[in-house]
Structure 1
Amino acid sequence: MYRLFASFLLFNFFSFSIYAQTEISISKKNEKLLGQSYKYYSKKKFDKALNYVEKAMQESEVQDIAMASLLEGNIHFALDNLEEAKKAYVKAIQVSKPSDNAAYTAQIGLARSMTKINRRKEIETKKKEREALKDSIDTEKKNKDKTTAFAIIEQVPIYPGCEGKISNAAYKSCMQEKITAHVSENFNTGVSKAIGIKGKININVQFKISAQGDVIDIYAKALNPLLEEEAIRVIQRLPNMQPGTQQGKPVNVIYGLPIIFQVN
């Protein structure tokens, strides 16, 4: 399970106790700037949050606070500024001790940022390759390798416990109910409560059910890397399924779902 203490510190970042624990003194001005940044971050007003944290980060005393860099990284991550998020997470790791919880949380943020950056590069590369080779693609190979969308598959994957249905619609409905129940039972809501963002939380998850029935290529998009990491962990625990078929042959099937909940 995640070291939620790091996020708990972020949640209480602007209390005097954090400075006592990290033995860092900070001016009232910068404490106020960081406090305002966190307040707007928790309300999902990320542009305003970024404005305040960037003002604070101009001061050398703030640049040496790992939790400040972590906050900056989380704001950039929420804004989808992944390169800037990566820099801030690296900074948080550099100024913290290896055993610090801030370093652990920043490492997750860095890993998620790098994964998403690399995924974008792969998508762009594949797009360019498709455009360059669109007139010379081997149709048979293309059909063999392609992934089929869940909505149009001839026979959808069958989730354990959903066997014996009479239609694709029934299989889809059963699978959705089973996956929703799995997520509800296994998602650690403590993560969402600890990161400090309040209100409606939406995590978009996408994955493939392989021709062997395994869950592969999981992708998650959320406002915070810890939310993405938790969503991926939960989806990784889905059971093996009967694979979907197209023209009688097992194929990879892409499936997406939102994970939505409220944090007060």
Structure 2
Amino acid sequence: MTSLRGSMTKQSPKRSILDFIIDTGKILLNYLKFKAMKNIKSNKANLEKKRGLFFQLGLIIAFSLLLFAFEWGSAINNTTVNYQLAGIDLETEITPITRHKELKPPLPKEYVKFEVIKDTEEPKKEIEIVSVDIDPDEGYRIPEIELDKETDHGDPIIWGVTEVPPKFPGGMKGLQHVLAKNTKYPNIAIENDMQGKVYVRFVINEKGEVEDAYVIRSVYPILDKEALRVVRSLQNWEPGKQGGKPVKVWFTVPIVFVLN
């Protein structure tokens, strides 16, 4: 336990103060009696008369001393008493405790998040149309095709080979260019990686028009359908001639679908 030490002014007990006042009063009365005893014989009557006065004077002095004693005791009681904790230097500077206001973290800013939507549609892949695998002079000769097949009109195809073969504007290069330009690769075929070569056979009539087109070698139905569509759009042929007259002639083209 920390010991306390203090210093205070010593004071007499109140009883000692009262004893002091009483003793002082007695001394004063004895002194007055002594002075009066000198003339006790001659002035005995006068002393008896002044006894009450002396008694009153003694009381006044005694009460005055008593009042002084109480005032002096109060002053002693009001004396400041300083206490000091042992081993603690009171002169040491005490650092005041500073309370910092708690700062709330700022609320996060709201950002609008934009979701990037990827274009799932793949870019359109080019279609490669290869050259017709036949000689330019005999481009319409297909040995495996029966020459007596009838058309939808019931007219027999007489000529598989003619003196003057049918010709597309621009020749074989012109034909390849038109096929490559007009053929559209179906999206479903692109998504499913469908590729292959489709052979289409058709008739070039006396007017240079395409008719009776059909697939003789299939790959995928969706690619067959596109091959037939583009072949039927091939018009303005120069018809084949036999004996100087325009005749109907069979013609076959391979259309190659390749995803580059």
Give the TM-score category using the shorter length: 0.3 to 0.5
- TM-score norm. by structure 2 comes to 0.37
Structure number having the greater helix percentage: 1
Q: Which has the larger radius of gyration?
A: 2
